[in-house]
Amino acid sequence: MPRLLIQLESAMGETRVAASPDTVKKFLSLGTKVAIERGAGLAAGFVDAAYGNVGAELVTPGDEQFWGQTDLLLCVHAPSEISLQKLRPGATIVGLLAPYSNSALAAALKSAKLSAMALELLPRISRAQSADALSSQANIAGYKAVLLAAAALDRYFPMLMTAAGTVQPARVVVLGAGVAGLQAVATAKRLGAVVYVSDVRSAVKEQVESLGARFIDPPEIEQRPDESGGYAKQASEAFLAAQREQLSNQLAEADVVICTAQVPGRKAPRLISDLMLDRMRPGAVVVDLAVEQGGNCANTRPGETVDRNGVKLIGASDLPCSVPNHASALYSRNLVALLEPVLKDGQLSLNIEDELIAGCLISHNGEIRHNNVFNMGGSN
Ligand code: NAD
């Protein structure tokens, strides 16, 4: 019977957990034994007793004996290298393992002879949608980014006709219309803003317009970035310069800018320069969701709000952690969707021929796969 362990997350500011009581119940029904570290769900609103009541065993965090018996470790972030050494050879870890350019993780997986599935690398195919943790978390980030912006803005979002006169709706520019960006568009529209969107992928225009926003066509220069697997590829510096020039006028009129433009494994494209910020009005707000990847906007800092001549620059690095109950519930369901086929007939078996498993399996019993991801440069 496979033994599952759910870890208490130790990363600073992390409030999520990799299993809810509902998904623990589901894993038990699949013929597994489930242990959870005490307090693992507390910050997400799931008390220990709720896990105990559905049949999980509550264990002391970091208990060597339990780690040594575990077949499958569910986590949000990869455990520390020291903790990984506690797992037995052949055990599997599953989570948002941040594999890009992470040679230390590769070395730890290799030396402990572990298997590891990094959810960031799940192929974007329809069969994978229910397991797509990047999407479930990005959706939350897009929603929360708009709420943060609305709370920080010195104006209303909706158009209002009051006895004291008419208030014009806020003007919101969303940079990048992937999962987070589209949710930001929908949320800003629901609050009554007028929304403009910039993206480099051609498929996006229709999605943006169907949400009632206006699409800013990318600059018409030859080096428009390619796309692959639903993702944009890295743009050339010439393209980004043309894009900044194009966006500069838009931003000068904006009340809010939500930055979500990303290229997997690369530094985020720099879309807002100091000169563009100089043209924004005092009181405007920029929320940069790409801040951990270097930021779409100059001067943003992870987890901080910087006041730059009256423009508030919010470095929104961990927004899913600010909605931990739903973020955990959705993340947990993503894990069930991914692992249900792996736990068939009360056995744990990784079918490495399966496109889904092959896509995200970065290590198989310590044999490193996807070396290109581990060795990826972070340069733009
Ligand atoms: P992401 O976080 O990697 O990037 C966010 C957005 O930034 C993307 O839309 C990208 O085109 C855009 N971007 C990159 N460079 C830019 C630039 N210079 N200027 C403006 N925008 C720029 O992407 P994501 O949100 O994880 O997903 C991207 C797409 O993948 C989705 O929109 C969707 O079409 C697809 N997807 C498919 C599935 C599935 O079928 N299972 C699931 C989720 C997403």
pLDDT in tens, 125-179: 999 999 999 999 999 999 999 999 999 999 999 999 999 999 999 999 999 999 9
- Alpha carbon 274 to chain centroid, angstroms: 27
Q: If you take atom 42 of ligand 1, which residue's CA is the nearest one?
A: 124
What residues have CB less than 8 Å from 289, skipping those under 6 apart? 141, 142, 145, 180, 258, 259, 260, 316, 319
Give me the pLDDT at residue 377, please.
54
More confident residue, 307 or 222: 307
Q: What is the mean pLDDT of residues 229-244?
A: 87
Specify whether the CB–CB gap between 5 and 36 falls below 8 A. Answer: yes
Q: Count Cα atoms within 13 angstroms, Cβ side, for 111.
A: 12
DSSP β-bridge partners for residue 167: 160
Atom of ligand 1 nearest to the CA of 203: 34
The model's pTM is 0.94
Is residue 175 within 8 A of residue 213, CB to CB? The reply is no
The pLDDT, as a whole number, for residue 62 is 96
Residue pair 116/373 in contact by the 8 Å Cβ criterion: no
- Is residue 129 annotated as part of the catalytic site, yes or no? yes
Which segment of 19-33, 79-93, 122-136, 229-243 scores lowest on mean pLDDT?
Answer: 229-243
Give pLDDT, residue 222.
66
Annotated catalytic residue 69 = no
Length of the chain, in residues: 380
Percent pLDDT > 70 in the chain is: 98
What DSSP letter does each residue of 96-145 carry, written as one string? E---TT-HHHHHHHHHTT-EEEEGGG---SGGGGGG-HHHHHHHHHHHHH
Q: Is the pLDDT of residue 54 over 60?
A: yes
- Contact between 4 and 33 under an 8 Å Cβ cutoff? The reply is yes
CB of 176 closer than 6 A to ligand 1?
Answer: yes
Q: Which atom of ligand 1 is nearest to the CA of 235?
A: 18
236 is catalytic: no
The answer, yes or no, to whether any atom of ligand 1 lies below 6 A from the CB of 232, is yes
Cα 156 to Cα 151: distance, rounded to the nearest angstrom = 9
What is the per-residue pLDDT across 180-221, written as a single tens digit (0 to 9) for each? Answer: 999 999 999 999 999 999 999 888 999 999 999 999 998 887
Give the pLDDT score at 87: 98
User: Which one of 129, 168, 202, 223 is the catalytic residue?
Assistant: 129
For the Cβ of 124 lying below 6 angstroms from any atom of ligand 1, the answer is yes
CB distance 139 to ligand 1 below 6 Å? no
Q: How far, in Å, is the centroid of ligand 1 from the Cα of 154?
A: 30
User: What digits encode the pLDDT tens for the residues 261-278?
Assistant: 999 889 999 999 999 999
Q: Is the pLDDT of residue 259 over 80?
A: yes
Taking the centre of ligand 1 as the mean of its atom positions, its distance from the CA of residue 115, in whole angstroms, is: 28
Q: Is the CB of 122 under 6 A from ligand 1?
A: no
Q: Which stretches within 112-235 are classed as H helix?
A: 133-152, 179-190, 204-210
Q: How confident is the model at residue 26 (pLDDT cuts 50, 70, 90)?
A: very high
Q: Mean pLDDT over residues 112-127, rounded?
A: 96
- Report the pLDDT value the prediction gives residue 379, as an integer from 0 to 100: 40
What is the Cα–Cα distance from 80 to 85, expressed in whole angstroms?
A: 9
Taking residues 21-32, report their average pLDDT.
97
Apex 378 CA angle, 376 and 380, nearest 5 = 120
pLDDT at 82 over 50: yes
* 207 carries an active-site annotation: no
Closest C-alpha to ligand 1, atom 19: 199
pLDDT value, residue 378? 43
The residue type at 131:
A
What mean pLDDT value characterizes the chain?
Answer: 95
Q: Please tell me the residue having the least CA distance from ligand 1 atom 35.
A: 230
The catalytic residue among 69, 231, 234, 248 is: 231
The protein residue with its alpha carbon nearest to ligand 1, atom 39, reads 124
Q: For residue 263, how far is its CA from the centre of ligand 1 (angstroms)?
A: 8
pLDDT tens-digit profile of 283-340? 999 999 999 999 999 999 999 999 999 999 999 999 999 999 999 999 999 999 999 9
Is residue 231 flagged as an active site residue? Answer: yes
How far apart are the C-alpha atoms of 277 and 298, rounded to whole Å? Answer: 8
Pocket test for ligand 1, best of 122, 227, 262, 356 (most atoms within 8 A of CB): 262
